Amino acid sequence: MFKNSVIPFYYFALLLFTVGSLSAQISFEAKVSKKRLGLNERLRVDFVMNENGDNFQPPNFSGFRVVSGPQQSVSRSWMNGVRSFSKTYTYFLTPNAKGMITIGQAEMTFSGEVYKTSPISIVVTEAVKTPNDPNNIDYLTDDNIHLVAEISNDRPYLNEGITVIYKLYYRNPINLQDVQEMESPNFSDFWNHIIKIGKAQINPRGSYRGEPYNEVVWRKSVLYPQKTGKVTLEPLTLNLSIGVPSNRRDLFGNRVYQQTQKTVTTGKKIINVKPLPETNQPEGFQGAVGQFDFDLILDKDALKASESFQAKIKVSGKGNLILFELPKLTVPNTLEIYEPERIENVTTKLSGMQGSVEEIYTIVPQFQGKYPIPIVKFSYFDPKEERYKTMDSQKLIVDVFEGPLASNGANNAVDEVSRILVNPTEDSFRFIKLDTALTFINVPNFWLSTRFWGLLLLPFGLIVLALVLKKWVFSRTEDVMNSKQRRAQQLARKYLSSAKKTMGQQVAFYEALERALHNYLKAKLKIETSEMSKPKILSLLEQKKVASQTAKTYISILENCELARYAPGATVQMKQDFDNASDIIAQIDKQL
């Protein structure tokens, strides 16, 4: 008995939870263009639902006069497999009196459930000088289109990376059709990098100031300011081709959209760039700003004298990696050091520069001994913690063996005569080829040799040969073309001759005449005219520079042939059509 009473209770609870979850997904709300307006202004009210509800009942709009509405719009989209639906009823109202007026609840039904909007209070003041008309094109575009520049940080430090994302927001009833960039921002006081975003995509789930909008990301840029103080970010200006609903409707009752142009801009933005603090700034600071790791690496720590090794100074992390100098490496004067090779492995993403920068030194020892590599210091400023940080390389020693010993005065350069230098060998610079392999060419009296005169006269001989070949090829081509023309004319005469023989037999005559016309074009233009329509044949003749009137006459003769098979005709008409076919073939042949 206990179990039988508990199971229905769980089923009932599960059913309530399921119904509650489904109900929580339904959204039905009222939105107004403003909550405070003048007595002579208009108010736009949108009732938006995210499901296709039925039996929409607007409030009675007590205190307002309905100027226009309802205007219904539906939006559907799929993004990443998620369905999005929006249905909107729009009204334009004008207040009847000053004071606080409340817009009541609207109702709609979905799946048998009734949903209501929340009441909205509107404050109506005295009439204003320049009222905004919600039904006016300028008002609609100004209120429903916005171009903004989202700046990640408007008070960065010098050389601290910031991001600027340019976004275009628009919503119903605006229909965006085309976008052209008129003015691009000038980043003259910044190191800048534009992030490629490909084709602009519309996000129907965007939000602008807490309200739903269609969102288009137009551009993404990463900037590193190069000067302090107030730095101006030039505006981005776009020219939009948009459709705005008019008061007219088509035959089906749909609202007709009016095409117009709208220019929007972000306006100038001011970035306040802070200087790096001078307090506690380390000696040797080179302007590195960000979060970094630092290291000094040797490719070998034991080698023979006169061999070479490499020392690599590497800075990795996130920050202005390519905008500062790496610390210099100093070594004892008994080690010969060469200019470093710089390697940059840096990628710029929306979060800023990331990667590593290296400088590789090639060093050649001259004498035996153990050489300490001095510690290298690297300092940078961390903008997150707002303080300087210094990192030291580890202590390194290079052991050089199997070479001459330095004299006692080698380190202070007193006894230069007693120093024994080592001649560099091939092992010192394996990557450099020091010897050349030149072969002396001894050609006596080349300018008077047969080879010289042969090379001199060869171009002229080739020119003469080319002219002869060209003339021969052209003559062969003309012969071939003449032969084809003769064959085409013979073929046309053959079928015209067959038509002439059947003069008086209407069906046989016009069948032969039509075959003559088709086969002439087939041989002349290398086409299958029997498989082509008359407009196609007419277009093809005009493409071949045949006079328009001539081409039309050709088509009219073909049409006469088709009609004459089934309509009675006289021998005089056949004779006229035969003469016209002969003339038109001659004209086309001449023009081709």
Q: Report the pLDDT averaged over residues 169-192.
A: 87
Are 139-273 and 290-401 in the same CATH fold?
A: yes
| pLDDT of res. 425 | 56
Model confidence pLDDT, tens digit, residues 205-255: 888 888 899 999 999 999 999 999 999 998 898 888 888 877 677 777 677
C-alpha to C-alpha distances, 487 to 100, 384, 479, 493, nearest whole angstrom: 96, 89, 12, 10
Instruction: Among 22-31, 325-334, 343-352, 483-492, name the one with the lowest average pLDDT.
Output: 483-492
Closest CA to 295 of 371, 395, 398: 395
Q: In what side-by-side order are the strands of the sheet with 369-373?
A: 302-304, 396-401, 369-373
Instruction: Among 67-71, 344-348, 359-363, 407-411, name the one with the lowest average pLDDT.
Output: 407-411
Instruction: Among 152-161, 394-403, 567-576, name the one with the lowest average pLDDT.
Output: 567-576
C-alpha to C-alpha distances, 582 to 404, 507, 561, nearest whole angstrom: 108, 19, 14
Would strands 396-401 and 302-304 be described as parallel, antiparallel, or unpaired?
parallel
**Distance (Å, whole) CA 209 – CA 88:** 19
Model confidence pLDDT, tens digit, residues 363-375: 999 888 899 999 9
pLDDT band at 139 (very low <50, low <70, confident <90, very high): low
pLDDT, mean over the chain: 81
Model confidence pLDDT, tens digit, residues 289-310: 999 999 999 999 899 887 899 9
Q: Report the pLDDT averaged over residues 391-405.
A: 87
Question: Would you say 528 and 522 are in contact if contact means Cβ atoms under 8 Å apart?
Answer: yes
Is this model's pTM higher than 0.75 or not? no
Q: Report the pLDDT averaged over residues 130-151.
A: 73
- What's the CATH fold of domain 139-273? Immunoglobulin-like (2.60.40)
Percent of the chain clearing pLDDT 70 (strictly above): 79
Model confidence pLDDT, tens digit, residues 495-513: 677 777 777 777 788 888 8
pLDDT higher than 50, residue 5:
no
| pLDDT of res. 327 | 94
Buried b vs exposed e over 412-447: b needs ≥16 C-beta within 10 Å?
eeeeeeeeeebeeeeebeeeeeeeeeeeeeeeeeee
**Distance (Å, whole) CA 7 – CA 12:** 9
Instruction: Among 63-77, 93-107, 166-180, 476-490, name the one with the lowest average pLDDT.
Output: 476-490
- What's the CATH fold of domain 290-401? Immunoglobulin-like (2.60.40)
C-alpha to C-alpha distances, 329 to 292, 294, 311, 343, 580, nearest whole angstrom: 19, 13, 9, 16, 97
pLDDT band at 411 (very low <50, low <70, confident <90, very high): very low
C-alpha to C-alpha distances, 589 to 481, 483, 497, 520, 548, nearest whole angstrom: 12, 13, 18, 10, 14
- 14 vs 178, which has greater pLDDT? 178
**Distance (Å, whole) CA 18 – CA 320:** 54
| pLDDT of res. 201 | 86
DSSP 3-state assignment of 239?
strand
Model confidence pLDDT, tens digit, residues 242-273: 888 776 777 776 777 778 888 888 888 899 99
Specify burial of residue 139 (Cβ count, 10 A radius: 0-12, 13-18, 19+): middle
Tell me the CATH number for domain 25-131. Answer: 2.60.40.10
Q: What are phi and psi of 405, to 5 degrees?
A: -90, 140
| pLDDT of res. 160 | 95
Residue ranges covered by each domain of the chain: 25-131, 139-273, 290-401, 483-591
